Chain A
């Protein structure tokens, strides 16, 4: 097992796409966060509010709801590039136990995306704080180390679980286009569509999908949800873990049954 993990780590670091995705994830998070954070501050200034306090991580979680797709692409490529190039056969020759290959990929993707989430979030928080401290933005910026650290850790965990979910979907679907479609629907399309229907049952269902589960876990009061999520943060984490586990199980079932 440790060999399989070491191999997956070598594979991840020896292709350029990994680094491109990490960079894209960081840039998108920073840009998204300063846009949202700056926007919120401007709104408050226009309303004539004084003495408001905006945390450095204001908008970072919402930004990550979009920026995560760069990191999802990284996770996806660890699986789908093996099928598009045919190298999956070499991988399975080296590690014929299917579950071991999948576990190794998940165990490499998870810490890499955790780190990517924390670092991207930290960069975004620093940029945001610098911006919000400026008088034009009301000087509302505050930096509470404890809260910021907590926010960043949760952000990392969310990214890691989104990555694991993507690895599972990738193994089940095999093609890049298919994987991205499924993950996008789960993480963005479906929950927003369900929300728009406005029906009680649809909203209940939507809030259990990974996007809102993640937002709940990260304590976001995002306007994406159109209202508070009806369960505590730890349940959000539980839903996220459940989705990732389900995706892995699906990937494992396909990997075992279908010819490589």
Chain B
């Protein structure tokens, strides 16, 4: 459980995080989404007590991070996979972390096994590929078997297999009842991993909702020879319906599956049933459109 209350961070005259208030619950993967520079990493650093908030508080399991004894047993975090002494061995790096929190040394071998780095235990951290560094960072996060896990852009630099592996890992950690907070600037990634989404832009909270709710916000195009009948039924279900043409509706408030089922139950033939946006990407872009820091204008892009 992570609780942020009016969390704010100012660097000089730049507001990196602006009055964030939210809770991240256990047993789910919470995606932390925002364009580059939105303030995701800064927020995570404040949660971990690395950066001091300008105002507001960040609590982990009800306590400020620095008050947690042996914090690696409570919170595991991967911020920057490359932030390891390049000359130290993979094993040495993890062993030092284990010692610092009274974690038995055998955990080092266990987590290396779990992330698939057992064969690289003796290699220098500086000689690892970016993908292997990410795995080492994840191993460090898992070391203390913590109930709260945070990952800052964990799939950067991973090959497709690695991406799938990380996705499954997050899902299984959440299924074990842990709090999993994972940032990304890619909606498509979060759509496949997260149960709940927190979207920020320019440091401000834009959305904090279950993934399903954000999916529902997507409009669906329906074509049917009985569009009128269907419109009435959908409206009765609480959907918002706009009749664009004699046999064409734009529906919001229900996912595609629900609309299709309703039409089927009513015996209404459909000629088309398609989400207006192929993914959440569009919704995300709409949500964050005002908050992208440096947008390339149409003209200058050419």
Contact = CB atoms under 8 A, between A and B. Distances in A.
Nearest to A6: B99
A85 B50 contact: no
Interface string A1-26: 00110111111001111000000000
B71 A96 contact: yes
B101 interface: yes
A86 B83 contact: yes
B84 A85 contact: yes
Interface size class of B (residues with CB under 8 A): 20 to 34
Interface in B155-184: none
A144 interface: no
B66 A86 contact: no
A235 interface: no
Interface stretch (A31-39, A87-95, A130-138): A87-95
Interface size class of A (residues with CB under 8 A): 20 to 34
B85 A3 contact: no
Given A94-B101, A96-B65, A87 B87 contact: no
Interface string B79-119: 11011111111001101110111100000000000000000
A14 B66 contact: no
A225 interface: no
B70 interface: yes
A87 B84 contact: yes
B50 A3 contact: no
B118 to A, nearest CB: 18
Interface in B48-62: 48-52
B49 A92 contact: yes
B83 A17 contact: no
B152 to A, nearest CB: 11
A259 B49 CA distance: 9
B99 A7 contact: yes
A89 B96 contact: no
Contacts of B85: 11, 15, 81-82, 85, 87
Contacts of A16: 87
B77 interface: yes
B262 interface: no
A15 B71 contact: no
B194 interface: no
Contacts of A7: 96-97, 99-100
B52 A95 contact: no
A10 B96 contact: yes
B68 interface: yes
Given A90-B97, A93-B48, A259-B45, A14 B88 contact: yes
Interface string B219-242: 000000000000000000000000
A44 B51 CA distance: 62
Given A14-B89, A96-B49, A89 B99 contact: no
Contacts of B70: 3
Given A8-B96, A86-B83, A89-B80, 18 more contacts: A9-B99, A10-B96, A11-B92, A14-B88, A14-B92, A15-B88, A82-B85, A85-B85, A87-B85, A90-B97, A90-B140, A92-B48, A94-B97, A96-B66, A96-B68, A257-B52, A259-B45, A260-B45
Interface of B: 45, 48-52, 65-66, 68, 70-72, 75, 77, 79-80, 82-89, 92-93, 95-97, 99-102, 140
5 contacts: A7-B100, A14-B96, A85-B83, A94-B72, A94-B97
Report, nearest first, the 9 A-B pairs whose CB atoms are least far apart: A86-B83, A14-B92, A7-B100, A96-B66, A6-B99, A10-B96, A94-B100, A259-B51, A260-B50
